[in-house]
Amino acid sequence: MSLVFISHPNCALHDVGNEHPESPERLDAINDRLITSGLDFSLVKLQAEPATKQHLYRVHDQSYVDEIFAKTPEHGMVHLDDDTQMMPRSLDAALYAAGANIMAVDKVMSGEAKQAFCAVRPPGHHAERDKAMGFCIFNNVAVAAAHAMEVYGLERVAIIDFDVHHGNGTENIFFDDPRVLFCSSYQYPFYPHNVGPGNAHILNLPLPPGTDGDSWQEAITEQWLAKIDAFAPQLVLFSAGFDAHFEDDMAHFKLVETDYHWITKEMKKIADKHCGGRMISTLEGGYNYSALGRSVAVHIKAMMD
């Protein structure tokens, strides 16, 4: 069974200007690298369908979702927070980004695919139940987890967030839901700043600026791997941000492609053991185009092999 690669041209239509690091060119960089690496031909490519309001209401307040629909401008731009804007096509992009995650769950849970990668934007992991934040409008990975639990009855879903920023939105949405084991490694102190200690099923792993791959792998091995294995996930989700890469100026970690290969393989061992290898990865951050393309290719290949 192949890996399904899910995206949609509408995800490129959210464009809030050349100064913004979360740009449509990020998806081009991924596609270009998949072609030059030869990986492109091994993927089953699917076009996402848009998420419905009902999909979004599972993880966001109804009033928040309705407000986002109502705020979509006909012209110009509206600001949802200091660094999150909406232009006329942003809602479309956000709906297809969330919808890709619905499709990914359906494909993997039905057995049509073993793994899926959602090449989508805007990203999602900072979006809280009732708040857009940090480039994120709807929380895509949370939409996937909620769909898997509600439609397929899963009781244990692991979300591994290796973006350099804490996944505050995902923590906020699942803080009181022990069916989700949420693991987030991130630079601290750093945006989004007010990170709490988590709880028994929210495993926050703050690491200092300058963290390199060896110390990152060591911390994850010590603090996460046995707990994720003991949780025995029925589905493994990645919030796959690649802004912890050494070449990415957004933050100050020193990860390289081999580190993304490592975390993917460690999670694949757990997925193979507990859930027939079912894994879904959705794009979060990653702003250096070359490093992003290379890292995604390595990550996808490690999921497939």
Q: Are the C-beta atoms of residues 284 and 123 closer than 8 Å to each other?
A: yes
CB atoms within 10 A of CB 297: 21
Residue nearer to Zn ion on the CB measure, 109 or 195: 195
Active site residues: 126
Residue nearer to Zn ion on the CB measure, 25 or 272: 25
**H helical segments located in 74-208:** 90-109, 140-152, 168-174
User: In the block, which residue shows the tokens 């102190």?
Assistant: 189
Least distance (Å) from Zn ion to the CB of residue 178? 26
Distance CA 13, CA 15 (A): 6
Number of residues interacting with Zn ion: please give it, by CB under 5 A.
5
Residue nearest to Zn ion (CB): 285
**Is 248 a binder of Zn ion (CB under 5 A)?**
no
User: In the block, which residue shows the tokens 């990668």?
Assistant: 117
Least distance (Å) from Zn ion to the CB of residue 163? 4
Residue nearer to Zn ion on the CB measure, 128 or 271: 128
Among 50, 167, 277, 285, binds Zn ion (CB under 5 A): 285
CB atoms within 10 A of CB 15: 16
Least distance (Å) from Zn ion to the CB of residue 136? 10
Least distance (Å) from Zn ion to the CB of residue 211? 14
Rounded to 5 degrees, what angle do the CA atoms 53, 56, 60 make? 125
Among 55, 121, 147, 165, binds Zn ion (CB under 5 A): 165
User: In the block, which residue shows the tokens 């057995």?
Assistant: 111
Distance CA 167, CA 24 (A): 22
CB atoms within 10 A of CB 7: 23
Among 22, 163, 248, 266, binds Zn ion (CB under 5 A): 163
Tokens standing for residue 75: 């012209």
Least distance (Å) from Zn ion to the CB of residue 292? 11
Interaction mask 214-243, Zn ion, x per CB under 5 A: ---------------------------x-x
The footprint of Zn ion (CB under 5 A) covers 163, 165, 241, 243, 285
